[in-house]
Amino acid sequence: MIGTSMPRLEDDALLRGAARFVDDLKPDGCLHVAFLRSPMASARIRSIDASSAAQAPGVVAVFTAADLEGSCAPMNARMTTPGLISPDRPILAIDRVRFVGEAIAAVVARSRYEAEDAAELIGVDLDPLPAVSTLGAAMAEGSPLVHDSVPGNRYITVHRAYGDLDKAFAAADVVVEGEVVHPRVSAVPMEGRGVVATADGVVYTSTQAPHLVADAIAECIGSSVRVVTPDVGGGFGQKIGIYTEDVLLAWIARRLKATVKWVEDRSEHMQASSHARDQKITFSAAVRSDGRVLGLRARILTSVGAYGARPYGATLNAMTCAGLIPGPYDIRDYEYDSIAIATNCSPEGAYRGVGMVTAVLAHERLMDLIAVRLGEDPADVRRRNFVRPEQMPYTSVTGHPYESGDYGAALEMALHAFDYRRARAERARARAAGRLVGIGVSSYVEFTGAGSATFVGRGMAAISGVDTARVWLDKEGHVHMQTSCPNIGQGVQTTFAQLAADALGVDAANVIVEQTDTARVSPGTGTYQSRSSVTAATAAHRAATQLREAILEAAAYRLDQPVEHLAISESKILVDGQPAGLSLAELATEELDIEVSYDAKQASHPYATHVCQVEIDPGSGAVSIGRYVITEDCGVVINPMIVNGQAVGGVAQGAGAALLEEISYGADGQLLSGSFMDYLIPTAADVPLVEVLHLHTPSTVHELGTKGAGEGGT
């Protein structure tokens, strides 16, 4: 089954409308929550008058920060990074608001309509304060502070130097300098966030990391909860973070001894769900006359927003980007300063390709600038700087252990498929005729599926780095599986079913992959960093293999046959290849229930090269993307069709960020792109046809050989 492009098993329910998302959960007697959110980016809260709201029709309760005191603690990001200042985040604003959309009060009512109406009756006296919404404003001398405890609005400043930069620059024939800026963006999944919490401590939430949500809620309210993930309509990293609404809904349910529900609308989503990127990178490279990079200096500025989000704090994008800027290139002398900056904006979080996207933007811009400076073909400059296959395994200058790969081969395969030389000649003719045609080449390497050692090293104490899979037989002989990595739309129900089928010798359609329930599978990290096909998949394959061994041992006892004579085929036991008259259903017992946890000794490192042609209409400025070719190496491919879909989806989001999308704030911190009228995302018409090719260099980190494929192309 591994390596087979079978159709996605989860699509039938989605296409029939039978999937169940958070908003499809409608418990009897459920109360509804609406929030009063700050209309200002920075202000002191002088007073809150909720008396009129409390008496409004249908209202059961109104809560402010004063009600939470002593029973619901602020959220701590649990970061241990030396030098990092990490202010706690209040569940409801206490004394001060720090970004537009920060929750001030919560109204609980019989219906969402009544809750929304009552929220408008809450009187809040706000004393406006100066806001800082851009990197420049936040870093200016004497600028207003987002937190009094964060001097200069700097959560952390990190300086790292590797090798001898002075020697490298002294030996340079040319010095190439550049700057790249990536705007603030939002993942905007089709389904926003939502929570249903019950009085007996069950929390249904649209999350990528259910065990991390359970940990955070328990820490804040002092009581354990069970977190269940229904179907999730996309996440793209945005649903990794632990949000204050998750905690507050659990607290309200416990306080009122009732089931409560909140589903955000798109306006709330744009204001209060995490944003990402918003980085400025300047760099200077010492370059030899043949285009070889001798040394590199970089300065990375990251707008973190009003708080460092749990579970990854204020260093997520700032440090990930800094560590990946050398990319697939053999650069041994590297120095950087990375500064994580507080701004009066929504807290930043993860978004597909965390840190990698902006790092790639920097190192690929560098390669192109070198080519222009020296009059070289951009592909040739990349060839001269790649880490070579004979150098593998290779530890990058910042410590990333690249286990396997051939970056040059990926480039050559993509260029050949694109017919690069012909395309360059056609581009020259088009330009001579006045057309604005360009050809882009981009190569990258990312790190995926990290284990506990990586997260400990990064000071992310709230993240275990472990993932878990549980596999068992039911009474009908069906194989069931749960993992700590829920399906968020990327097809893991199918890929996990294929893994189990491969290990057990059953049909994938006979494997039921359930969404994650923290009461039914032991703790794990969750679905992000392309870890589902790495850490969770390894755990799943090991668990299924052990279940197969247990099944055959039970069958050997029942049939009085040696285990080595037995096999499983189509959910039946075979003896020496012949049916034994014994089915899996007849063997199902409580003992045939296996759980395995996996902690990767190091991250895996997929890589790719993308080549595309773009044309700009000189009259209108309209951009059209022509041919687009990808060569990707994500190790062993479980389901090629799903992997190709992930690559094309990444291209769509990458095109959106490059051409359309930007979260924009005014100088006063007011959100200017709070709806899809102003925040433009790609449609099908904006996404080119993409040709996806594959190299297959198995990862040596674990026996499956997968490297992860969820973030390429962004």
Question: 647 Cβ partners below 8 Å, 6+ apart?
Answer: 608, 630, 632, 690, 692, 709, 712, 713
CA 494 to chain centre: 20
Mean pLDDT (the chain) is 97
Question: What is the rounded (10 degree) CA torsion for 295, 296, 297, 300?
Answer: -160
User: Alpha-carbon distance 204 to 627, whole Å?
Assistant: 43
Q: Please give the pLDDT value at position 647.
A: 96
Strand-by-strand arrangement of the 572-575 sheet: 566-569, 572-575, 578-583
User: Alpha-carbon distance 305 to 155, whole Å?
Assistant: 10
Amino acid at 127: D
At 530-544, the pLDDT tens digits run 999 999 999 999 999
Measuring CA to CA, which residue among 83, 79, 87, 73 is closest to residue 146? 87
CATH class for the region spanning 276-450+603-694: alpha beta
Q: Please give the pLDDT value at position 713.
A: 67
Measuring CA to CA, which residue among 521, 399, 518, 526 is closest to residue 462? 526
Strands 334-342, 154-162: pairing kind: antiparallel
- At residue 714, does pLDDT exceed 80? no
Q: Please give the pLDDT value at position 570.
A: 87
Q: How far separated are the first and last CA of the chain, in Å rounded?
A: 28
Question: What is the rounded (10 degree) CA torsion for 413, 418, 422, 427?
Answer: -130
Residue with structure tokens 């790719």?
A: 608
Q: Radius of gyration (Cα) for the chain, nearest Å?
A: 27
Average pLDDT over residues 395-404: 98
Burial 370-403 (b: 16+ CB within 10 A, else e): bbebbeeebbebbebbbbeeeebebebbbebbbb
H-helix segments, 420-536: 420-432, 452-457, 492-504
User: Alpha-carbon distance 624 to 286, whole Å?
Assistant: 35
H-helix segments, 351-406: 356-374, 378-385
Measuring CA to CA, which residue among 193, 195, 261, 250 is closest to residue 217? 250
Considering the chain, tell me which residue range(s) the CATH 3.90.1170.50 domain(s) occupy: 15-129+187-272
Return the DSSP state at 342: E
Amino acid at 143: S
Position 687 confidence tier, pLDDT thresholds 50, 70, 90: very high
Percent of the chain's residues with pLDDT above 70:
100
At 347-386, the pLDDT tens digits run 999 999 999 999 999 999 999 999 999 999 999 999 999 9
Measuring CA to CA, which residue among 380, 385, 282, 274 is closest to residue 330? 385
Total Cβ atoms within 10 A of residue 257:
9
H-helix segments, 39-148: 51-54, 65-68, 112-119, 135-139
User: Alpha-carbon distance 34 to 243, whole Å?
Assistant: 15
User: Alpha-carbon distance 426 to 614, whole Å?
Assistant: 13
440, 361 in Cβ contact below 8 A? no
- At residue 73, does pLDDT exceed 90? yes
User: Alpha-carbon distance 141 to 136, whole Å?
Assistant: 10
Question: 313 Cβ partners below 8 Å, 6+ apart?
Answer: 77, 78, 79, 81, 84, 86, 459, 460
At 45-70, the pLDDT tens digits run 999 999 999 999 999 999 999 999 99
User: Alpha-carbon distance 377 to 605, whole Å?
Assistant: 27
469, 539 in Cβ contact below 8 A? yes
- At residue 326, does pLDDT exceed 90? yes
In a 3-state reduction of DSSP, which class is residue 692?
A: strand
The first and second tokens of residue 697, run together, are 């260099």
User: Alpha-carbon distance 59 to 138, whole Å?
Assistant: 41
H-helix segments, 223-279: 244-256, 266-272
In a 3-state reduction of DSSP, which class is residue 351?
A: coil
Tell me which of 3.40.50.1580, 3.40.50.2020, 2.60.40.10, 3.90.1170.50 is the CATH number of domain 15-129+187-272.
3.90.1170.50
- At residue 1, does pLDDT exceed 90? no
Q: Please give the pLDDT value at position 6.
A: 95
Positive/negative CA dihedral, 342, 344, 350, 356:
negative
Question: 31 Cβ partners below 8 Å, 6+ apart?
Answer: 60, 108, 109, 110, 256, 258, 259, 260, 261
Q: Domain 466-599: give its CATH architecture.
A: 2-Layer Sandwich (3.30)
Question: What contacts 24+ positions apart, CB below 8 Å, involve 147-154?
Answer: 147/85, 147/87, 147/98, 147/342, 149/85, 149/87, 150/85, 150/87, 150/342, 153/341, 153/342, 153/343, 154/85, 154/339, 154/340, 154/341, 154/342
C-alpha angle 387-389-390 in degrees, rounded to nearest 5: 105
649, 629 in Cβ contact below 8 A? no
User: Alpha-carbon distance 561 to 106, whole Å?
Assistant: 65
Return the DSSP state at 338: E
Lowest mean pLDDT among 127-136, 198-207, 618-627: 618-627
Q: In whole angstroms, how far apart are CA 93 and each of 36, 96, 106, 266?
A: 11, 6, 11, 21
Considering the chain, tell me which residue range(s) the CATH 3.30.365.10 domain(s) occupy: 276-450+603-694, 466-599
Return the DSSP state at 315: G
User: Alpha-carbon distance 573 to 506, whole Å?
Assistant: 10
C-alpha angle 130-134-135 in degrees, rounded to nearest 5: 115
At 412-464, the pLDDT tens digits run 999 999 999 999 999 999 999 999 999 999 999 999 999 999 999 999 999 99
Residue with structure tokens 């911190």?
A: 669
The first and second tokens of residue 710, run together, are 């969820």
- At residue 624, does pLDDT exceed 70? yes
Q: Please give the pLDDT value at position 219.
A: 98
- At residue 591, does pLDDT exceed 90? no
At 470-496, the pLDDT tens digits run 999 999 999 999 999 999 999 999 999
Strands 578-583, 572-575: pairing kind: antiparallel
399: Cα within 13 Å, side-chain hemisphere:
12
In a 3-state reduction of DSSP, which class is residue 92?
A: coil
